[in-house]
Chains A and B, each alone.
Chain A
Amino acid sequence: MNCQRVQESFLDYQDGALSPADASAVREHLKTCLGCQREWAGLQEISLKLDRLPPVAPSPRLRAQFYAMLETHRRAADSRSPFVAMRSRLDRFFSALLPARPALQFALACGLLAAGLLFGARYLRPTLDPATEKRIAELQNKVDSMAPLVTYSVLQQKSTTERLRIVLATLNLKQNDQQVVSGLLASLAFDPSVNVRLSALEALYPRADQPAVRSAVTASLPREPSPLVQVTMIDFLAATRDPAAFATIEGISRNQNYDQAVREAARRALAQL
Chain B
Amino acid sequence: MVESVLPAVDSPSDHELMIAVRAGEIDKLGDLFERHHRPLYGFFVRHTGDRTASEDLVQLVFYRILKYRHTYRDEGRFSAWIYHLARKVAADHFRRNSTAPHATDPDDLHTVPDEAPDAADRAVRTDDTERLQAALAALDPDQRELLVLARFQHLKHEEIARLFELSVGAVKVRAHRALKELRDIYFKLSREPAA
Interface residue ranges, A against B (CB under 8 Å): 7-8, 10-12, 42-43, 45-47, 49-59, 61-63, 65-67, 69-70, 73-74, 77, 88, 92, 100
Interface SS of chain A: helix
Contacts between the two chains (Cβ within 8 Å), count = 110
Question: Among residues 139 to 195 in chain B, which have CB atoms less than 8 Å away from a CB atom of chain A?
Answer: 151-152, 172-173, 175-176, 179-180, 182-183, 186-187
Bound-state Cα–Cα, A51 to B2, Å: 6
- Closest Cβ of chain B to A23, distance in Å, is 16
Query: Would A11 and B54 be within 8 Å (CB), given that A46-B183, A88-B24 are in contact?
Result: no
- Closest Cβ of chain B to A16, distance in Å, is 13
A54 and B182: CB pair below 8 A?
no
Give me 27 A-to-B residue pairs in the complex whose CB atoms sit less than 8 angstroms apart, sorted by A's number. A7-B176, A8-B176, A11-B176, A42-B180, A43-B180, A49-B132, A50-B151, A51-B1, A53-B133, A54-B1, A54-B125, A54-B129, A55-B1, A55-B42, A56-B41, A56-B46, A57-B113, A58-B58, A63-B37, A67-B30, A69-B59, A70-B27, A73-B66, A77-B24, A77-B26, A92-B23, A100-B73
B37 and A62: CB pair below 8 A?
yes
B59 and A62: CB pair below 8 A?
yes
CB closest residue in chain B, given A92 = B23
B37 and A74: CB pair below 8 A?
no
Bound-state Cα–Cα, A12 to B175, Å: 11
Bound-state Cα–Cα, A210 to B74, Å: 84
A56 and B3: CB pair below 8 A?
yes
A49 and B24: CB pair below 8 A?
no
CB closest residue in chain B, given A15 = B157
Interface residue ranges, B against A (CB under 8 Å): 1-4, 23-24, 26-27, 29-30, 33, 37-38, 41-42, 45-46, 51, 54-55, 58-59, 62-63, 66, 73-74, 112-114, 125, 128-129, 132-133, 151-152, 172-173, 175-176, 179-180, 182-183, 186-187
- Closest Cβ of chain A to B40, distance in Å, is 9
A56 and B176: CB pair below 8 A?
no
- Closest Cβ of chain A to B16, distance in Å, is 16
For A12, what are the chain B residues with a Cβ–Cβ distance below 8 Å?
172
For B51, what are the chain A residues with a Cβ–Cβ distance below 8 Å?
56
Bound-state Cα–Cα, A46 to B132, Å: 9
CB closest residue in chain A, given B45 = A56
- Closest Cβ of chain A to B31, distance in Å, is 11
Residue with the greatest number of chain B CB neighbours at <10 A, chosen from A47, A57, A88: A57
For B176, what are the chain A residues with a Cβ–Cβ distance below 8 Å?
7-8, 10-11
In-complex Cβ contact of B183 among A45, A62, A70 (8 A): A45
For B151, what are the chain A residues with a Cβ–Cβ distance below 8 Å?
47, 50-51
